[in-house]
Structure 1
Amino acid sequence: MKLSLISTILLLITEITFAQPFNYEVQLEAISIENLDGTHSYAFGQNNGKWLIVGGRKDGLHARQPFNAFPATFNNTEIMVVDPVSKEVWTNDLNELGQNLQEQLQSTNMCFHQIEDTLYIAGGYAYSTSQADHITFPYLTTIIVSQTIDAVINNQSKVNFIKQTQDTRMAVTGGHLAEMDNQLILVGGHKFDGRYNPMGHNTYVQTYTNAVRYFEVNNSSNAPVIHSYSQTIDGVNLHRRDYNLIPQIFTDGSKGHTISSGVFQVNADLPYLYPVDISPNGITAQTSFNQYLSNYHSASATLYDTVNQANHSLFFGGMSQYYYDNETLMQDDQVPFVKTMSRVSRDANNQLTEYNLPIEMPNLQGAGSEFIPVESLLMNDHDIIAIGETSDDSIMIGYIYGGIKSTSTNPFTNNVTSQTSADQSVFKVWLIPTNTVGALPINGRHGFNAELYPNPSNGVVSVRINAPSSGEGAILVMDTQGRIVQDLVINVINKGQNELQLFEPGVLSKGIYHISFSLDNKYFDQRTLVIE
């Protein structure tokens, strides 16, 4: 295990001029709901305060051994309805549905999003009886949430409220489904067929989508109809799964999303640290900023300050390459379970700042959990909670349910996944008004940058790299189709300025290329190159 200490003198920004105004403390209130099982990596919808829980798993973190990873016996084979106010739970099995629906709706890591009363679900991974293997399901399913909730509560048929269509473009797990510009977008993730194997043996086929897929759905017939489909491919920035997708209102007022961290880098089994914005204007990698805390999917919530035009995204526990031990930032490349609660804020000038919150999750928990917001607080057509002038009243903004709980930080690495379990915890999430600044800001701006010259070029290309520290460099060259066409290694990059020749004539044909530079798989920069 690689551990390192990073001085807070270097990483903490103490000047108040950098602080994003956020006059709230975040507090958790644990509540107990009898008969509510632990579940993680599920899909959910809600209506009138009741939750609809679909799929996910009832065990803990998947085992290392292929024969013991993702066993079907721990699939969530029931649709659950939860009323967190009355603390009632209702369940109904999937048996009345067709086989394809039964198989998909008990899978894990489905991509899902609710628009009005319809829950859209794409993909998911589980054992398929019909295929006699673990697969990523090639289906898009729609569920009418309110009527399905009523059917489960009253133990009635739900067949008429659930539809499905088969489409291989929907075969994605570990990605996210969201809405933007009146379209659904399917962001990142991968297609994974076969038995999981951490040693890379020939028991599975894995393909990252490297894409944002845009489409619309007509749900008025017997099966959903996908139309107006297009996609953007980016083999570097979109090579991600198991991340958090954060709704954002950007500085121009447009509504979109930000990919927060995720795994794995193209050339390293490590999380990405820089975020990627997805807006109606396109895809923008924010390589000048690193988000150190929270690298895997966990419960998260985004608040929008309508007065200061700032986004504040909260992250609850999960797994992270970096975490705090008192006031020292620790690095563990095994990406352990953590208790960390953090915030990333984007101000009206598009400045990003990360904060370590002064409270933690009660246990090593949060991975694979979901934040379920109070519906009445959501802004129209966007999953963001609006906050304005700070009042004296506390605000309960939603709930955290489920996820994976662990008794050790690295159960996968140490082959003790039996020490993990599906978490049945439920927390109310409160915002408490305060004038006290308790969160520690972290300097995510690293200063690593590269300059290509001449640019445009006739084929001879050099680069000037400014590095904040010494280390090993890597360069990925991507064409306009999003395909990686060159993968280069720079054995030594020295601290400070470095200059070297990258290409000679004939190496790259005429065209436009997007060049990604990295230092020690930690600092990134990207530039566009024109070959004439």
Structure 2
Amino acid sequence: MRFRLFTAVFLLGFSHFSARSQTDSLPFSIRLEEATWPEWPGLHSFAHGVYNQRWFMLYGRQGGMHGMIPPDPFPLDEANQSVRMFDPETGQQWERSIWELPDSIAFPLRSTNPQFVQQDDRVYVMGGYGKDTTSEDFVTFATLVAIDLPLLETALESGGDIAPAFRLFRDSLFYLCGGEAELFDSDVVLFGGHEFTGEYSEIGGIGFTQRYTNEVRRFHLTDDGADISISDISITYDSLLFHRRDLNLGPVRYPDGSEGLAAWSGVFQYDINLPWLSDLYYDGASWTEDTLTHLFNHYTCPLMPLYDSNTADMHTVLFGGISQYYFYEPDSAVYEDLNVPFTDNISCITRYADGSTKQVLLPVRFDALWGSNAVFIPAETVTRYPNEIIRLDASEEELLAGYLFGGIAPEFPNFTPSTASNKLYKVWLTWTPPEPPLSVKDEIRELEVWPNPATGMVFVSTGISWRLTDLTGQLVGAGQVLDNSIDLKQIPAGLYLLQVQDRGGVVFQQELMVY
């Protein structure tokens, strides 16, 4: 749901940026293989869950991008009014009508752009924008719908009653759409979004009310299978940093092994209807605005998070979607389009071990303008950290990282007819092992380390990068030396070999006891 409000007719005034090499800094490559099942319906802006290697998809829309002016900018016949289960390997699909459920659940299920998370075998879908037939108005729902995937799978396969798989919980905390949700440290985090009531129009303020939440809402969700409750509610307000919707939110991993979240771009700025060109990082305590100018993939699109434990670098691949800037291959150049068009670009935002960030374009692109409001679903077999980040260095062989599905399929970049896409891609990932992180120049020299034995932080006499191996030669940690210090709090007790490399390529090493 793009929800774009034009304050004026934008001129097609392009700003030109020179192109540069996009591939030399990434330690991986991807390959896309289309695997579309023609019988599957097109869907976008939906919620989904995964169980038993099957995909469950609800909410969302089966038409293209919504209209800009009344009447009927969100036609009801284009709303997804089915509960669906897909098998990506066989192409099998199962479908049941949402109207087999009570209206109190069916109405939210007919909405679009909800927020959702999956916890174990249950999916929790919050909010969404759609028609409330009881009030005969378009509203933002203040609901949480809990979906039991094992029960739903059995009902869909057997033709049984689907109602026992659904439960409803109401709270004003869920009154939003166009935001994003993630699990973090056993809590649910709701980022941004807005409350929208009335029929949508690009003519601001006529026939509807809209309010950005400007909030990040964190809470603990308890569900015993019968009763749902929420507790430990924490709401952080920031009218500048959190004034975003239709953004991307995903997990990150920091060099010390701790988990976090990142919020990438989103819309709209206060003084102009353009995306935010900044990103935010969360460490569990606070959100920090990054210094990177975020140029590509501004609206909601599929994300593939990757972590390289050899370098302690975090990579997030963003697939297609809508962007203020785009790469034009015939000119080998990047242009700005203030109409913020659909694109075919795939980029990667890397957060390095030293905290610096960079965004580069990948050489692979889609063969169409694709990715807006589509999803990435990790492959069952790919090695992941507990927060669903793919372990990049788990294999040197090409592996199936996951799938891309759905989205909006436009005919042209701007002001274009569009449909809901049923395209399915397999994403193949190949890690490029680095050269030995520490290349020996002349001889290896002795390193001064203190304290030794140590726990937590250690200090070294020199070096810009470090690696730690156990007595078998297995790498257990690596990263950048910051202010002559190395954080080893996540390293278990044991005897290790610590190596550091200075700017001249000289390697220093010392045995280190961690207790």
C-alpha separation in 2, matches of 1:245 and 1:263: 13
Structure with the greater alpha carbon radius of gyration: 2
For 1:426, the aligned partner's letter is L
Unaligned runs of 5+ in 2: 1-10, 435-515
Q: CA deviation at 1:210?
A: 0.7
Residue 384 of structure 2 aligns with which residue? Answer: 379
Which portions of structure 1, spanning 4 or more consecutive aligned residues, are displaced by more than 6 angstroms? none
C-alpha separation in 2, matches of 1:228 and 1:120: 18
For 1:337, the aligned partner's letter is F
Residue 133 of structure 1 aligns with which residue? Answer: 137
Question: Match of 2:106, SS?
Answer: helix
For 1:116, the aligned partner's letter is D
1:368 aligns with 2:378: no
C-alpha separation in 1, matches of 2:17 and 2:172: 48
C-alpha separation in 2, matches of 1:433 and 1:348: 18
Q: CA deviation at 1:279?
A: 2.2
For 1:355, the aligned partner's letter is V
Where do residues 209-248 of structure 1 align in structure 2 (5 Å cutoff)? 209-220=213-224, 222-248=226-252
Contact 1:40 1:422 in 2 (8 A): yes
Scaled by the length of structure 1, the TM-score of the pair is 0.76
1:257 aligns with 2:267: no
C-alpha separation in 2, matches of 1:407 and 1:234: 38
Scaled by the length of structure 2, the TM-score of the pair is 0.79
1:314 aligns with 2:324: no
Q: 1:426 aligns with which of 395, 419, 424?
A: 424
Q: CA deviation at 1:336?
A: 0.2
Question: Match of 1:147, SS?
Answer: helix
C-alpha separation in 1, matches of 2:257 and 2:21: 28
1:83 aligns with 2:108: no
Contact 2:38 2:422 in 1 (8 A): no
Residue 360 of structure 2 aligns with which residue? Answer: 355
Contact 2:406 2:420 in 1 (8 A): yes
Question: Match of 1:218, SS?
Answer: strand
Q: CA deviation at 1:374?
A: 1.2
Q: CA deviation at 1:95?
A: 1.9
CA RMSD of aligned residues (A): 1.8
Contact 1:34 1:88 in 2 (8 A): no
Q: 1:294 aligns with which of 291, 294, 297?
A: 297
Q: CA deviation at 1:71?
A: 1.3
Contact 2:222 2:228 in 1 (8 A): yes
Say if 1:389 and 1:112 are closer, same or farther in 2 by CA, change over 3 A: closer
Question: Match of 2:154, SS?
Answer: helix
Contact 2:308 2:392 in 1 (8 A): yes
**CA deviation map 1:57-85 (0-9, x unaligned):** 01001111221311111110111100011
Contact 1:5 1:328 in 2 (8 A): no
Contact 2:342 2:370 in 1 (8 A): yes
C-alpha separation in 2, matches of 1:20 and 1:280: 29
Residue 124 of structure 1 aligns with which residue? Answer: 128
Q: 2:306 aligns with which of 303, 307, 312?
A: 303
Where do residues 30-45 of structure 1 align in structure 2 (5 Å cutoff)? 30-45=34-49
Q: CA deviation at 1:385?
A: 1.1
Question: Match of 2:371, SS?
Answer: strand
Q: CA deviation at 1:431?
A: 1.1
Contact 2:374 2:404 in 1 (8 A): yes
1:48 aligns with 2:52: yes
Residue 341 of structure 1 aligns with which residue? Answer: 346
C-alpha separation in 1, matches of 2:223 and 2:349: 36
Say if 1:209 and 1:367 are closer, same or farther in 2 by CA, change over 3 A: same
Say if 1:378 and 1:390 are closer, same or farther in 2 by CA, change over 3 A: closer
**CA deviation map 1:166-194 (0-9, x unaligned):** 11110111111111122111111111111
Contact 1:244 1:297 in 2 (8 A): yes
Q: CA deviation at 1:222?
A: 3.8
**CA deviation map 1:94-145 (0-9, x unaligned):** 1222112101112110100111111111101111101211111100111112
C-alpha separation in 2, matches of 1:13 and 1:87: 39
Contact 2:351 2:357 in 1 (8 A): yes
Question: Match of 1:367, SS?
Answer: coil
C-alpha separation in 2, matches of 1:104 and 1:272: 29
C-alpha separation in 2, matches of 1:303 and 1:259: 16
Contact 2:392 2:431 in 1 (8 A): no
